[in-house]
Every structure is written in structure tokens, then in C-alpha cells.
Amino acid sequence: MDKQLSNKSKMVQTKTMKALVYDGPGKIQLKDVPLPKIEKATDVLVKILKTTICGTDLGILHGKTPSVKPGTTLGHEGVGVIEEIGTSVRNFKKGDHVIISCITSDGSCEYCKKQMYSHCEDGGWILGNLINGTQAEYVRIPHADNSLHLIPKGADEEALVMLSDILPTGHEIGVINGGVKPGDTIAIVGSGPIGMSALLTAQFYSPSKIYMIDMDENRLKMAKKFGATDTINSAKEDVLKRILAETKDGVDVAIEAVGVPETFDICQKIVRPGGHIANIGVHGKPVELQIQDLWIQNITITMGLVNTNTTPMLLKTVSSGKLKPAKLITHHFKLNEILKAYEVFGNAAKEKAMKVIIEP
């Protein structure tokens, strides 16, 4: 009888897990929630080995992203090991170590066929947004064949967490959309993990000058170490004045990596004729477009959600040691300390934080 009971309680125990649940603006809790299950033949269940927090999660917490409903487990980044596999998954097997892409995609719809995975008709950014995410012990990944990347044997798995979102985002939405070319002068407004990822990947294309702009002195110092040629503290200095004094007539590419009207405004002021403004930031409010000044300047403005179509390429650059994203990691926490991790990442300037790793 006792044995039966203890087996039963064990079963109940194994059916729940810890997860960081969004409970409405300003509210998150580490809770016991039901273990996810395979729901479709194309799903896999991943046991999370490492996850992290994104600026987007802070945005959700500040009520910027109404698509996230209370009760959702947050998180769209991480690496893990496949625990269970749907019957039609072909590319992965139980036990494989994988990078979870922040974008889920079926690989077969019209958008996927254009490599616009961010707009997959049965996916896109759904993890930690429309379905439960990775800040938990386990996560269900739909369309696993197209939404995971196999981790090469012997790789630094912690560094590869940066491939779930930040590196492809900085690269695709900042650097590629911005059309960064050899010799360009570029400015990246925002030196958080996303701005830093744009900084690291912009260097593939050899710009001659890279300004990093932020109000956090520690992040600007890090940016100098990671390849910025110049830094501007926008709380202390007039960005426009400085850039106009040091360039002919502004920057070729202005990358917005914050997501507030003030930083978009800096970008539209510092871009030179023929230049690009590449907006990466997730905005929760309208911005004022200075079209009366810009129309005549032959400016290209781009914005968008990361497609993660360059992740396989970025994985090769990390594996070969050309790109070293581990240097973005400043803090480590256990999953049961995740509220502390949010506090530290949310007070990055005070805590000297960049990317925080959370592990079981």
C-alpha cells in the first residue's frame, strides 16, 4: 500500500515542473506547472540545459507585448537535450543536444519557402509568446525538424545559447538589413545583447568605424573590447553633434537596438544621404518619422522580426572560433534563482550584466 502510494506520488511529482510564468504586466512567478507533452507528430520535448533572458522578456514584463497572455511560460532561447520525439520527426533523435531557435517554422508554407521563417503560417515567434517557452525545465518544440539546430560534438553549449536569438537578430535585422559594407561608418544605438550581437557580426563585413551608443558606461566599455572604434554615452553627450563633427555628414548605417522613440529619433538624425536605418528594437509606442527631412535623403528604413535563416552560417563561425559569443555571458543562475536573474538583467547597469545563463 505504502509502496503504491509512493509510486503514485512519484508519478504526480514527475508530471509537474518549474517554470517562469508571466502573470500580467509587472508580474512573474516561478511556479509548478504541468509537464509539456507531445501534442503533434512533428513535436519534440526538450529538457532545457541552459536558457537566458532577452530584452524582449523585459519588454513583456513592462506590458509592451500584449500578445503574451497571463499564464504563459516565458523564454525563447536555450539549448537542451531531446527527451521525447514525435513520430514524424526525421532530423533529430532522443538524446540529441540542440539549439532551440526563437523562431518556430514548419519549413513548408509560402513564407518558409522564402526563408521568412518569422512569418511561418504555423509558427513564427510563438515560444514564450503564444505558447509556453524555455524558462522552464522542459519545453515542447513544434515543427522540430525546422526549428532546432543540432549541436556539434564538443561545442561550448553555453556560447550556443547566443544563437537562439541575439546573434541572428543582430546579424539579420541589424547588419544585413542595414546593408553594412566594407569601409562603412556605422552606429549602433543600444549596447545590450542585441546591439552587441550587431557589433560582433558587423565585423564580418569590415566597416571602418563603429560607434556604439548607450547610457550604460560599463556596456560601452565592453563594446570597446568587442570591436567598437568609438563609444558615445548619450546621457552625457549630444550624439548628433559628436557624429556630425567626426564624420562628413553622418553614418552610412544607423542600427536601432533599444525599441523606444528616443533611440529611433537618434537614428533618423545621424543617418547620411543614401544611408540605412535598420530598426531592431521591439517598439511599444509610435515613433515620429521625420519624413519632411528624410524623403529627399534617399534613406532606406528597414525593420522586422528575425528569421533565423542565418543561424546555420553563424553556427559555423562560432564552431570555427571566428565568432566568440561566450564573452557576452556575465552571470550564471540556477532555475530556482530565476527571479534574481530577472532582477540582475533588469538592472544591467548597476549589476554590470550582459547575458545571464540560467541552468537547472
Residue 164 engages ligand NAD in binding (rule: CB under 6 A): no
Binder of residue 232, out of ligand NAD, Zn ion, none (CB less than 5 to 8 A by kind): none
Residue 54 engages Zn ion in binding (rule: CB under 5 A): yes
Binder of residue 106, out of Zn ion, ligand NAD, none (CB less than 5 to 8 A by kind): Zn ion
Residue 212 engages ligand NAD in binding (rule: CB under 6 A): no
Residue 106 engages Zn ion in binding (rule: CB under 5 A): yes
Of 92 and 211, the one with the shorter C-beta distance to ligand NAD is 211
Binder of residue 124, out of ligand NAD, Zn ion, none (CB less than 5 to 8 A by kind): none
Of 164 and 185, the one with the shorter C-beta distance to ligand NAD is 164
Q: Looking only at residues 301 through 330 of this chain, which bind ligand NAD when binding is defined by CB under 6 A?
A: 305-306
Residue 55 engages ligand NAD in binding (rule: CB under 6 A): yes
Site residue total, ligand NAD (CB under 6 A): 33
Residue 238 engages ligand NAD in binding (rule: CB under 6 A): no
Q: How far is the CB of 4 from ligand NAD (least distance, A)?
A: 49
Integer distance in angstroms from the first to the last C-alpha of the chain? Answer: 33
Of 40 and 322, the one with the shorter C-beta distance to Zn ion is 40
Binder of residue 234, out of ligand NAD, Zn ion, none (CB less than 5 to 8 A by kind): ligand NAD
Q: How far is the CB of 11 from ligand NAD (least distance, A)?
A: 39
Residue 56 engages Zn ion in binding (rule: CB under 5 A): yes
Cβ distance 55 to 216 under 8 Å? no
Binder of residue 176, out of ligand NAD, Zn ion, none (CB less than 5 to 8 A by kind): none
Q: Mapped to the 3 state alphabet, what secondary structure does the chain carry? A: CHHHHHHHHHHHHHCEEEEEEECCCCCEEEEEEECCCCCCCCCEEEEEEEEECCHHHHHHHCCCCCCCCCCCECCCCEEEEEEEECCCCCCCCCCCEEEECCCECCCCCHHHHCCCHHHCCCCECCECCCECCCCECEEEECCHHHHEEECCCCCCHHHHHHHCCHHHHHHHHHHHCCCCCCCCEEEEECCCHHHHHHHHHHHHHCCCEEEEEECCHHHHHHHHHCCCCEEEECCCCCHHHHHHHHCCCCEEEEEECCCCHHHHHHHHHHEEEEEEEEECCCCCCCCCCCHHHHHHHCCEEEECCCCCCCHHHHHHHHHCCCCCHHHHEEEEEEHHHHHHHHHHHHCHHHHCCCEEEEEC
Stretch binding Zn ion (CB under 5 A), from 102-110, 150-158, 214-222, 243-251: 102-110
Q: How far is the CB of 162 from ligand NAD (least distance, A)?
A: 11
Task: State the residues that interact with ligand NAD by CB under 6 A.
Answer: 54-56, 58-59, 165, 169, 173, 189-195, 213-216, 219, 234, 257-260, 262-263, 280-282, 305-306, 348
